[in-house]
Every structure is written in structure tokens, then in C-alpha cells.
Amino acid sequence: MKYIIKRQISTGSFGTIYEVLSEDDDKVYALKELTNIDTVTKQRFEREIQVLSQLDHPNIVKVIQWNIGGDPPNFYPYYVMEYLSGGSLRQHMDEKFHSEDQYYFDVKWTINRIILPVCNALAQVHTSNIYHRDLKPSNIMFTDNTKSAIKITDWGLVKVEDLSKGKGNDGASAIDLDRRSLELTAVVSEGNIGGTPDYCSPEQWFASVNKNDRLVDGRTDIFSLGIIFYEMLTRRRPPPYDPNNPSLNRAPVEAPSKYNSLISSQLGQCILKMIDLKPENRQQSIWDLISEIEIVPDNSL
């Protein structure tokens, strides 16, 4: 298909996303172009395409077309995905929190519209030993302006465990890529880690320092989702851990109900468990988390 660029949606350290119009079917799509190319970022981009092209879930962005051949200045790798017109959860949170002093997202809406859909998408990918590793509000997009459905985007830091264990023909290169990709979870600019300091789990942060991601698994995604959960219901993030101290010091995390009386103690304990600094103290799988959320009594939401 051929595309006409309508506008630039966003740009980052590795590439640019455009809103484009297809000349073939007259539909609007989003095109992600990789413009900052080195060996690692191009391999990561190819892996993102590989993973997204194989995933089929209503809460994961769908890739339509891609082309990874060629090099600048004649050609930049790109992929085309469905266009999500509702903006990001980050934009929605900022709009609400900045415009209404006492605004908190409704507990039931947060669970049913954001948390459980993300959990359901993660349940599918975790089954295949695929981990997002960069969950944050800016990577959760609304499909349209009704804000009734979401999709997870930006899988550039995805970890594919089967490949990193050496399965398949490219197992060796996958191991090397995972190790070098961990370096991208270190700070590259203020407020921007490949997992962002405010949402990145400690084991992922220290894996980027130690070049050892043995503990980075589904519990890492649970931690990031827990920070999002806490923030939506309290309009604040928990105190950060000290990224320079492997002993994992941080100020005590207040129960979410301290800031929002509509949060039940049972749900509050579930959220605190999600964001425990030690992965062994969190829910041990996304299915454990779904079960905990679903048994919270309806009258406490």
C-alpha cells in the first residue's frame, strides 16, 4: 500500500510516528518510522515487528504492514499499524488531574476499562513467554474518543524468553540483543528510561546495570501496571526506590485508601502487593493478579 502523511503524531529518540492515509483503501493508519539507526535499535525494531505481527488480541495494537530492508539515507525501516484516535492514558490522566483538583478515576471504571483489559492482553503474551517491559500510561492508547477500549502499544523493549534461551535459529543473537537492550533501560534523558524510573521495576533497573535479566519476567509487567493502578486511583505515584542502592530502600508506601476513601482495604492490599519491590512478594503471575482483582466484592468497588 502507498501512504500520504497527514501529520506527525510524536517523535522520540529512535523514530517518529505519523498519521497517514492509505491511497489503496482510503483509511487512516499510524506509521512508525525508525530514524535513529544502529545495530541494536534496528534489531529491536525488527523484534518488535516480529512480535506484533504474531499477536492477535483486541487489547494489543495490530500491525498492518512493515518493511525492514534498506538503510538511510535512501530508506528507513517502518511499520504501519492501526490508528488509535483516542489519545493515550497519560494524556487522559494529565487532563483530568490538572483540570479538577479532587479528581480520581472511578475504581470500577479503572478496573474494567484499563487494568483488566491490560491483564487480559498480558495473559496472552506471557503464555508465550513474551514480556512488554515498558508499561506506562503513554503506552496505553484509547481506540477512540469514547475512551471505552484500550490497546497496548510500543513493544520496543519486549523480551522474548524462548528466543533468549536459545530456541530457534536466531537464539544466539537474541541472547546478545537482550543483554544489549538492557542498557537501554538505563537513563537516556531525564524522565525517560526504557521503563521510565517511575514505572520500571527494581529488577529491571538493576538488570540494566548488571546486564543480567534473569529475574525480569511477568512480575516486572505486574509492577509497572501496579504503579499505573495506584496513580489512577490516588493521583500520585508511590515513592520511588533508590536506583543507586541495590538494597532497595524507599519511603513507606501509603495505603491507596489514605488518598481515596473509595478504595477498599482488599483492593488496596492487592495494589500494594503489585508494587512490592521484591518480585517474589508480588502476584507470581498475571493470572494470580486477575484472580485477586476479580474476587474483590462488587460493593467495595
Supply the pTM of this predicted model.
0.87
Phi, psi of 4 (to 5 degrees): -110, 125
User: For 106, how many CA atoms within 13 A lie in the half-sphere containing its CB?
Assistant: 4
Residues 6+ apart with CB under 8 A from 186: 193, 208, 209
Least confident of 71-75, 144-148, 182-186, 254-258: 182-186
The DSSP code for 58 is T
Across the range 84-99, mean pLDDT stands at 95
| Alpha carbon distance 126, 218 (integer Å) | 6
Q: Does residue 211 surpass a pLDDT of 80? A: no
Asked if the domains at 3-82 and 89-300 fall in one CATH topology, the answer is no
CATH code assigned to 89-300: 1.10.510.10
**Joined grid coordinates for residue 143:** 481506540
Q: Does residue 188 surpass a pLDDT of 60? A: no
Element (H, E) at 31: strand 28-34
Q: Does residue 223 surpass a pLDDT of 50? A: yes
Q: Does residue 80 surpass a pLDDT of 90? A: yes
What is residue 5's predicted lDDT score, i.e. its pLDDT? 94
| From the candidate CATH numbers 3.40.50.1820, 3.30.200.20, 3.40.50.300, 3.40.630.30, the one assigned to the domain spanning 3-82 | 3.30.200.20
- The C-alpha cell 535459529 sits at 169
Map out the domains of the chain as residue ranges: 3-82, 89-300
The pLDDT tens digits of the residues spanning 230-286 come to 999 999 999 988 877 777 788 899 999 999 999 999 999 999 999 999 999 999 999
What is residue 37's predicted lDDT score, i.e. its pLDDT? 78
Average pLDDT, the chain: 85
Least confident of 33-37, 82-86, 236-240: 33-37
Residues 6+ apart with CB under 8 A from 250: 238, 239, 240, 241, 242, 277
Residue 34 and residue 11 in contact, taking contact as beta carbons nearer than 8 Å: no
What is residue 176's predicted lDDT score, i.e. its pLDDT? 42
**Joined grid coordinates for residue 156:** 520496543
| Alpha carbon distance 234, 77 (integer Å) | 40
**Joined grid coordinates for residue 116:** 483488566
Give the chain's largest Cα–Cα span: 60
Strand 28-34, strand 63-67: pairing: unpaired
Element (H, E) at 34: strand 28-34
Across the range 283-290, mean pLDDT stands at 97
Single-letter residue type at 12: G
Any long-range contacts for 241-247 (C-beta under 8 Å, 24+ apart)? 241/202, 241/277, 243/197, 243/205, 246/206
Neighbours of 135 (CB within 10 A): 28
